[in-house]
Amino acid sequence: MHPGEAVHLQGWRAELDLAFERRAARTVLAARRHAGPLVVQKPFYPEGEAVCHAIVLHPPAGIAGGDDLELSARSAGGAHALLTTPGAGKWYRSAGSWARQRLDFDVAEGACLEWLPQETIIYDGALARLETEVRLAGDACYLGWEILCLGRTGSGEAFQRGTCRLRTTVLRDGKAQWLERGIIDGGGELLDARVGLGGQPVCGTLIVAAPVLAAELIAACRVPQPSVGAGAVTCLPGTLVARYLGPSSEAARRYFARLWGIIRPEVLGRTATVPRIWAT
């Protein structure tokens, strides 16, 4: 890590550690531990006992310079957990300290984990580091997305200052399936470059990691397109990646939700059941 990227600890330090287990026909939240302002609500079962839905809450509502958040989740053999958030994540302008969010997911053989947060808004002047590591064992499955909105576009704010650093790693049995790093500098050339963001403030990535991804599934996922902006789907061995680039985080979420509706029955054996919190 470059010295200038160190997380200054005068901000909030928050940790949430979750463990999901399969007990008979039910996935249960078997253990939870938290420190600081990061908690989970009571589990929900809108699609029956096999899938446990949990809503991750960050009561301060925004992440400021110096904050350090870590969410860990483990899905044991046979368990199926779906995690989401109640609203957009907000990364505030920093006076000089970096803020960090780390997602650390372990999915055992025969288990599933879905990470479907609402959008992340990076305010002008924020210094943000978003890190995700997913470790899969055997035939475990993972489906997750991240939607970034650079600047508060609703109030006409552009991302002119600050930096957003991204790192995503997906491993299966210790071997890398997907490695991605990105640096988005406020006011930088990447924002307007045709090989970058092309002047669009919203970008998103959906990742599916599964032992088998049929060619017919990939073809079906290439049919839908966002209502505004552009979408694309590609496939590597054991990994499907969908991208969104455009002006609207809502259009990105609707696009990814449509893909989720196509992917979930084929990969996870269940129809897509939208978390109720998305409608509030």
pLDDT of residue 230: 98
| Mean pLDDT calculated for residue range 100-109 | 98
Q: Note the pLDDT tens digit of each residue in 123-171.
A: 999 999 999 999 999 999 999 999 999 999 888 899 999 999 999 999 9
Is the per-residue pLDDT at 221 higher than 50? Answer: yes
Average pLDDT of the chain is: 94
- The pLDDT value given to residue 60: 87
- Quick one: tokens of 151? 């600047």
Residues 6+ apart with CB under 8 A from 144: 113, 114, 115, 116, 132, 134, 206, 207
pLDDT in tens, 236-267: 999 999 999 999 999 999 999 999 999 999 99
pLDDT of residue 140: 98
Helix (H, G, I), strand (E, B) or coil at 235: strand
Strand-by-strand arrangement of the 163-172 sheet: 26-35, 13-23, 68-75, 99-107, 127-136, 163-172, 175-185
Please tell me the predicted confidence (pLDDT) of residue 138.
98
Write b or e for each residue in 61-90: b if 16 or more Cβ atoms lie within 10 A of its Cβ, otherwise e: eebbbbbbbbbbbbbbebbbbbbbbbeebb
Report the range of poorest mean pLDDT among 128-132, 202-206, 274-278: 274-278
What is the distance, to the nearest Å, from the Cα of residue 179 to the centroid of all Cα atoms in its chain? 15
Whole-angstrom Cα distance, residue 106 to residue 77? Answer: 11
- What confidence score (pLDDT) does residue 61 get? 78
pLDDT of residue 59: 87
Q: What band does 279 get if pLDDT is binned at 50, 70 and 90?
A: confident
Q: Could you tell me the CA-to-CA distances from 139 to 102, 172, 238 in Å, in that order?
A: 24, 9, 10
pLDDT at position 278: 86
At 220, the amino acid letter reads A
pLDDT at 10: 63
**Within the chain, how many helices (H) and strands (E) appear?**
2, 17
Give 10-51 pLDDT, tens digit per residue: 688 999 999 999 999 999 999 999 999 999 989 999 999 999
Domain ranges of the chain: 18-279
Overall pTM > 0.85: yes
Confirm if 259 and 206 have CB atoms less than 8 A apart.
Answer: yes
Answer yes or no: is pLDDT of 8 > 80: no
Query: Pairing relation of β-strands 52-57 and 89-91?
Result: unpaired
What percent of the chain lies above the pLDDT cut of 70? 96
Q: What is the pLDDT of residue 2?
A: 39
Rg from Cα positions in the chain: 18
Backbone angles phi, psi at 116, to 5 degrees: -125, 70
**Is 3's pLDDT higher than 80?**
no
Q: What is the pLDDT of residue 6?
A: 40
